[in-house]
A and B are shown apart, each in its own frame.
Chain A
Amino acid sequence: MLYRESGQFSTSYLAEGRLFKLYQQRWGFYALLAFAFLAVPYLGNDYWFSAILIPFLVLSLAGLGLNLLTGYAGQISLGSAAFMAVGAFAAYNFQLRIDGMPLLLGFFFGGVTAALVGVVFGLPSLRIKGFYLLVSTLAAQFVVTWVLTQFGWFSNYNSSGVISAPPLVILGHDFSSPAGRYLLTLGVAAALFWFAHNIVHSELGRRWMAVRDMDTAAAVIGIPILQTKLLAFAISSFILGIAGALWAFAYLGTVEPHGFDLSRSFQILFIIIIGGMGSILGNFLGAAFIVLLPILLSNLSATFLAGVVDPGQLENLQKIIFGALIIFFLIKEPAGLARLWQAFRERSRIWPLRF
């Protein structure tokens, strides 16, 4: 609407295939990145970093992980938190047990470990479908938590089973201040979002969507179903694993296995329902919603309703609002906030015309 499209056209498939075909979008995106990387660290305060931005980014990332599996490849999962836990504990142990392991490499191996575990629990997906598959992912949820609690080795025999963050040092730079942790999270998230975006726009992404939309037809046109599904589990878990490591190290600083319980899995599922399944942007929108709505409600009530409404009731109210929103979205906009945004974009492309 405000920017002109005319005169921007592609003369090669490479240019045609890129994320932002319009230079206005590209520059807007670069500006946003520059703002996030360069300006925010100076503008934000501890509260914004520690209580809003970091969890927002980590949850976006977790949403992304699940979205690849559920939104793109169509395999519903209630075990997201388990893969986060695997990632967190694996990254911790790689860091702890291998001397001189660089932090990011530790994250990477944490992700890889989560991916392997994801593949194991994804194996049944060839034989079972739909919500029968929930059983497999719920099994992952319970088994992983149990294993991590049961065997002290995973938490280096910490008496409380809690792991705590290693020094957040990359190439001699200390990232342990709130702004540093924000930058670390942002950097990892940006890289993984780029990675995921490339995947879903590649052949593999198309295969996932094909399997999601109709797996018999996908098999008939030669798509290897098991391999495709397992890759979805692996990559999804990889991202969830790294999100888990960030959750533990960059956000909370410490974490215990029960920090990754079923309700966390639900939370991530809600992110993608509200944000939009099968959308990259949706993860940000959903995570922003999940992170900000409670804070907004509690802030507003602390300001305007202090003493009028019991804070407890407010939490219940919030629960009801969440539930109602989920149903609302499923009824009115099954593709979530991202779809609203997309509709807005489409409309503004042809503004002021109606269609």
Chain B
Amino acid sequence: MMNIMKKPSVLLGALALGLILSSVSAQAANEQYFPLQSYRVGPYAAGGTGFFGGFIDYLQYVNLKEGGVNGVKFTWSECETEYVVEKGVECYERLKKGLNGAPAAATNPLSVGIAYATLERSTADKLPLITINHGRTDSTDGSVFPYVFPLQLNPYSEVSAIINYIGDKSGGLDKLKGKKIVTLFHGSPYGKETNPILELLAKKYGFSLTLLEVPHPGNEQQSQWLNIRRIKPDWVILRGWGVMNPVALKTAQKTGFPADHIIGNIWSNSEEDAAPAGTAAKGFISITTHPSGTNFPVLQDIDKTVLKAGKGNLQDAKRFGTVYYNLGVVNGILNVEAVRVAQAKFGKRPLTGEEVRWGFENIKLDDARLKQLGAYGLVQPLKLSCSDHEGGGAVRFQQWDGKQWKVISDWVQADRKLLRPIIEESSHKYAKEKGITPRDCAKES
């Protein structure tokens, strides 16, 4: 054992060399850095390539169009996580220090697992952790989770909005009474997370709820859909993930359940979820925090300045304007906006993570500002604060027409008042477990 380290020492040496070479630092530039824990391979590559493609393209766009924010250019580097938690942690640790002197602004792993694993690290390192549309629900409570931002939509809001939509469709929430709703969820903590909320809503509105689990990865759903066929529900809420989504649609078709009564959640709403199901997906409804498509000024502008200039990040240009791509763009808009807000307070220079966090907490996107950004209709009006790290909580509904998504509703708001106490109960439990004293948000400026 004495010599254990001898063999690997070769590897270690080579690795050290690699590390040294990679960190040969140029002059500390006037740049703001985004560490990207991206994933472009593995089972979830489709989501990763779209999201990070959009994100990078937007940063590139800001650089090209405006020369960054107030002259502070953006820089970034990628580290492949393969959606694997340990790799995400490794990437986080590798990139958190910044690049060539440019400080890191925020991390955006787009992975629940990685977000959980880096949550405490982020807090300790004072680096905002952005979990747009996903993440830990109770991190909405910024007094307990100062550095975590489940922007736009947390999982609780998601189901609440869906129920509100169904209520709308039925002619009012009071009409929900007696309706039958089935939730088909992925057999993972992610899939189960909203079950208590659904049960709560079922009790509140008096609809009957059946929760059906699909074991991971979900490529066999015969029995669940036969069950659904027997129950004959009015709506099926699909909380799927990866392959489970197209298989659900195909199996629904096989068992004769109409696709236009299936509502996909935020991870069942992309082209990659619907298209592989072919004709079976036609009519499928899903929520989205942002419409797909290219019909927004900001996207047109990106196309012109970035893509047409051959600087686009997407390998497959056809994916421009898809759900994941647009989510990346939205994420870019929000991150850049946070930097901009923070710069207004702290000065026109590269900012620390702590300063960027202040920026996030003070994001205020109203219609006017959104129009300014060319993102009206793409991004929902958003106002964050010390205690509210989610901000929006609204979704739009879209329907698959066999080729692409068509937005079929305006913003539908979640019942955030109802959810807030539940969230706080959970966050306070966490605070107690971890010995955290929540910030007093009244004192924050």
| Chain A residues within CB distance 8 Å of chain B | 19-20, 25-26, 28-29, 31-32, 46-47, 50-52, 55, 146, 149, 155, 158-162, 164, 167, 193, 251-259, 280-281, 284-285, 288-289, 292-296, 298-300, 302-304, 310-312, 314-316, 337, 340-341, 345
Contact = CB atoms under 8 A, between A and B. Distances in A.
10 contacts: A32-B4, A161-B189, A164-B120, A253-B117, A258-B216, A289-B8, A294-B87, A295-B90, A303-B22, A312-B80
A284 B8 contact: yes
Contacts of A257: 189
A69 B196 CA distance: 41
A295 B15 CA distance: 8
Contacts of A52: 90
Given A162-B116, A285-B7, A298 B79 contact: yes
Given A296-B15, A340-B7, 15 more contacts: A51-B94, A149-B188, A155-B189, A159-B426, A160-B190, A251-B89, A252-B86, A252-B89, A256-B189, A288-B8, A299-B15, A315-B40, A315-B41, A316-B41, A341-B7
Given A149-B187, A256-B188, A32 B41 contact: no
B188 A161 contact: yes
A252 to B, nearest CB: 4
A32 B1 contact: yes
B38 interface: yes
A299 B117 contact: no
Contacts of B85: 252, 255, 259
B1 to A, nearest CB: 6
A103 B42 CA distance: 36
Given A28-B3, A254-B117, A257-B189, A300 B112 contact: no
Nearest 4 pairs of A and B residues by beta carbon: A161-B189, A312-B40, A28-B2, A29-B2
B93 A258 contact: no
B215 interface: yes
Given A281-B1, A296-B15, A258 B189 contact: yes
Contacts of B119: 253-254
Given A162-B189, A296-B14, A316-B41, A256 B116 contact: yes
Nearest to A315: B41
Contacts of B415: none
B12 interface: yes
A281 B4 contact: yes
B136 interface: yes
Contacts of B117: 252-255
Interface string B193-234: 100100000000000000000011000000000000000000
Contacts of B18: 296, 299-300, 303
B315 A159 contact: no
B77 interface: yes
Q: Which of A257, A281, A303, A310 has the largest count of B CB atoms less than 10 A from its CB?
A: A303
Contacts of B90: 50-52, 55, 295
B444 to A, nearest CB: 26
Contact of B80 (A251, A254, A311): A311
A50 B90 CA distance: 7
Interface of B: 1-8, 11-12, 14-15, 18-19, 21-22, 38, 40-42, 45, 49, 77-80, 82, 85-87, 89-90, 93-94, 96-97, 112-113, 116-117, 119-121, 136-138, 187-190, 192-193, 196, 215-216, 315, 426, 433-435
A308 B427 CA distance: 45
Contacts of B87: 294
Contacts of B86: 55, 251-252
Nearest to B195: A159
Given A32-B1, A50-B93, A167 B189 contact: no
A159 B117 CA distance: 16
Nearest to B95: A47
A167 B435 contact: yes
A292 B12 contact: yes
Contacts of A160: 112, 116, 136-137, 189-190, 193
B93 A253 contact: no
Contacts of B82: 315
A253 B2 contact: no
Contacts of B80: 298, 311-312, 314-315
A50 B80 CA distance: 17
Contacts of A310: 40, 315
Q: Which of B21, B22, B189, B196 has the largest count of A CB atoms less than 10 A from its CB?
A: B189
B137 A159 contact: yes
Contacts of B21: 303-304
B112 to A, nearest CB: 7
Contacts of B77: 302
B426 to A, nearest CB: 7
Contact of B93 (A28, A46, A167, A314): A46
Given A51-B93, A162-B116, A302 B1 contact: no
A258 B38 CA distance: 20
Contacts of A316: 41
B2 A32 contact: yes
Contact of B192 (A20, A149, A296): A149
Contacts of B40: 310-312, 315
A47 B78 contact: no
B8 A312 contact: no
A224 B86 CA distance: 41
A103 B21 CA distance: 40
Nearest to B52: A311
Contacts of B137: 159-160
Contacts of B19: 299
